[in-house]
Amino acid sequence: MRKKENIIIFCAHSDDEIIGTGGLIAKYAKEGKEAIVVIFSYGEKSSPWLRKDVLIKERVLEAKKIAKFIGVKQFYFLGIEDLNFEADVEKKNTKEKVKNLILKYNPIKVFTHSSLDPHKDHKAVSKVVESALEDIKKDIPLFAFEIWNIRNETHPRMYVDISETFNKKIEAIKKFKSQRHYTYPLLIPVYFKARIIGLLNGYKYGERFYKIR
């Protein structure tokens, strides 16, 4: 029996996984690979005019529906305090949770934020995931994706043809109604980035990843 080709995506907030890897998730799902998404925070501080419990409920339901739409098989929230990642990951033993999930699913690849992303929560996730993989000492490739990056990574690059799944990625981004003030302004940059990556590699739309280890 062929081993399941799982991939795991670790990210800070729901919507990061779609913006960074949405085309890849949909492509891998079509190929029979299983995508597991792990979101560190509920993003409870993203809206100053909604009660925390109301916003968390809304974002969890929304994220799960979008995960199913894009082809995610398993979905986790770790409950890290929004905008306080560096302190809270230590309190909640987050690295051990990350390690346990990696060992449970034994992925062929792991994806997470770039360490050059200027968002401090994204940086914190990148640091925890990379450290967890170092502790495990298994030969599992780690790839970084970009959200708010200004500088490019110097690591080797992996390009993925998402021509057949790009429209699904865009549809998924539009479904984040609770985060539309963040996600809608990103639609044009996401389109142009995917188009440029695609043109440089001989296809219509692409996503770029950096091999960290």
Assign 1 a pLDDT band (cuts: 50, 70, 90).
very low
Kindly report which listed range (5-14, 40-49, 121-130) carries the lowest average pLDDT score: 40-49
Residue 71 covered by a domain: yes
Residue 198 covered by a domain: yes
Give the residue-averaged pLDDT of 40-63. 82
Question: How many separate domains does the chain show?
Answer: 1
Residue 133 covered by a domain: yes
Q: 42-49 long-range contacts, Cβ below 8 Å, gap at least 24?
A: 42/77, 42/79, 42/82, 43/13, 43/14, 43/82, 43/179, 44/81, 44/82, 45/82, 45/83, 46/13, 46/82, 46/178, 46/179, 46/182, 47/178
- Which tens digits make up the pLDDT trace of 162-184? 999 999 999 999 999 888 888 88
Cα angle 47, 175, 7; round to 5: 100
Kindly report which listed range (44-48, 122-126, 150-154, 200-204) carries the lowest average pLDDT score: 44-48
Residue 1 covered by a domain: no
Rounded CA-CA distance 83/68 in Å is 27
Residue 76 covered by a domain: yes
Give the residue-averaged pLDDT of 52-76. 92
pLDDT at 76: 96
**CATH classification at residue 55:** 3.40.50.10320
pTM for the whole structure: 0.94
pLDDT at 182: 82
Residue 50 covered by a domain: yes
- Which tens digits make up the pLDDT trace of 96-125? 999 999 999 999 999 999 999 999 999 999
pLDDT at 48: 59
Rounded CA-CA distance 12/148 in Å is 13
Residue 105 covered by a domain: yes
In 104-156, DSSP assigns E strands to 109-113, 142-145
pLDDT at 150: 84
Single-letter amino acid code for the residue at 78: L
Domain assignment of residue 87, given as a range? 6-211
Mean pLDDT score of the chain, rounded to an integer?
Answer: 92
Instruction: Give which of 116, 113, 164, 111 is closest to 141, Cα–Cα.
Output: 111
